[in-house]
């Protein structure tokens, strides 16, 4: 468990030392899951907080840092994306960042990926917003369900209750995902069972990042109320209790779940565990029955308007940006 939060509200850190007894020649990478609140309605302050958290994780020797769902609301591409890329390069980490993406007049719940050289790799847009989120967010499509092959493993992300969609999970397994990032806002006890199941089902490491929010993290009323809570909230009342966790392909909890406060959950991931897990159960390999059950994924971009000539004129100049085609 994480140590108590200081009065400055900077997150504590926790490093799990777990001897999995695997091949000493297999790659081992250190990963950190961030459990922290955004600075609501203040993007610059949230960016500054993200940099402090990234620096702290890098100080622990982490090569991969995963943030919660919807941590920052930004345009993609945009200056904040450029800054996140620069931070990944500065601290030599792979960065998985949950954002609310503003694309013209539509919002998407999105995860952005950056490599340790400071390059933007791409994004995943949530294909099914959860519950009432459908009133606010747009729907992604399967063209943004990437799994990136990197020197530290094959990295991808599935957001919140997308993780309850077995066909989407199967598509990610078929892409060879090894480090399965699951940012969410679900702080329930049942979420832990979901994460453990995915680790076993997919034979992959599961890293779930959840915000920890208190009443004092939000602007003052009366502009809104916190549903499902008592009327007599104190500044320290918990609105989202976290529950971030890191789980191995064999179902071992390597770090977390943390329900105590903001913190950094860090663990060493022995990628040799993946082969050991797949030997027992490979859901898209020797444990599949494509003669009986199969899946077709329509991964072409879906657009409400298609110009058959292919000669439609762009009305705005695209920014000069490294890997801009990935947006």
Does 126 participate in catalysis according to the annotation? yes
| Sign of CA pseudo-dihedral 52, 56, 57, 61 | positive
Write out the DSSP string of 1-20: -PPPPPTT-PPEEEEE----
Identified catalytic residue from 123, 126, 154, 278: 126
Nearest to 30 by CA among 42, 49, 14, 46: 14
DSSP 198-216: HHHHHTSEEEE-B-EEEGG
To the query of whether residue 187 is one of the catalytic residues in this protein, the response is no
Q: Which of 69, 80, 262, 273 is catalytic?
A: 69
Is 324 in the active site? no
Tell me which of 49, 123, 154, 160 is the catalytic residue: 160
What are residue 266's DSSP bridge partners? 15, 32
Q: Which residues pair with 235 in a beta bridge?
A: none
Within 8 A by CB and 6+ apart from 111, the residues are 69, 96, 97, 98, 99, 123, 124, 157, 159, 181, 183
In three-state secondary structure terms, 47 is helix
Provide the annotated active-site residues.
Answer: 69, 126, 160
């Amino acid at each position: 468990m994480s140590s108590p939060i200081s009065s400055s509200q900077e997150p504590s850190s926790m490093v799990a030392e777990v001897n999995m007894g695997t091949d000493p020649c297999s790659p081992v990478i250190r990963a950190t899951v961030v459990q922290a609140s955004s600075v609501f309605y203040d993007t610059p302050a949230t960016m500054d907080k993200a940099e402090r958290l990234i620096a702290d994780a890098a100080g622990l020797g982490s090569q991969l840092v995963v943030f919660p769902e919807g941590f920052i609301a930004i345009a993609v591409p945009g200056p904040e994306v450029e800054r996140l890329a620069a931070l990944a390069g500065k601290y030599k980490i792979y960065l998985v960042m949950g954002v609310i993406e503003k694309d013209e007049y539509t919002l998407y719940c999105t995860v952005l990926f950056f490599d340790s050289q400071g390059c933007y790799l791409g994004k995943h847009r949530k294909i099914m917003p959860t519950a009432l989120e459908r009133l606010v967010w747009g729907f992604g499509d399967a063209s943004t369900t990437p799994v990136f092959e990197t020197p530290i493993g094959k990295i991808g992300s599935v957001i919140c209750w997308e993780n309850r969609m077995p066909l989407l999970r199967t598509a990610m397994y078929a892409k060879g995902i090894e480090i399965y990032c699951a940012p969410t806002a679900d702080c329930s006890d049942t979420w832990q069972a979901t994460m453990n199941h995915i680790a076993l089902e997919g034979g992959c490491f599961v890293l779930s990042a959840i915000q920890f929010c208190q009443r004092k993290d939000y602007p003052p009323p009366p502009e809104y109320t916190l549903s499902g809570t008592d009327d007599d909230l104190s500044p320290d009342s918990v609105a989202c209790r976290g529950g971030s966790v890191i789980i191995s392909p064999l179902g071992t909890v390597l770090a977390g779940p943390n329900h105590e406060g903001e913190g950094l959950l860090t663990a060493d991931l022995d990628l040799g565990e993946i082969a050991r897990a797949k030997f027992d159960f490979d859901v898209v390999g020797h444990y599949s029955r494509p003669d009986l059950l199969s899946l077709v994924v329509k991964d072409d971009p879906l657009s409400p308007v298609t110009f058959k000539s292919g000669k439609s004129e762009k009305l705005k100049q695209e920014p000069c940006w490294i890997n801009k085609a990935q947006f």
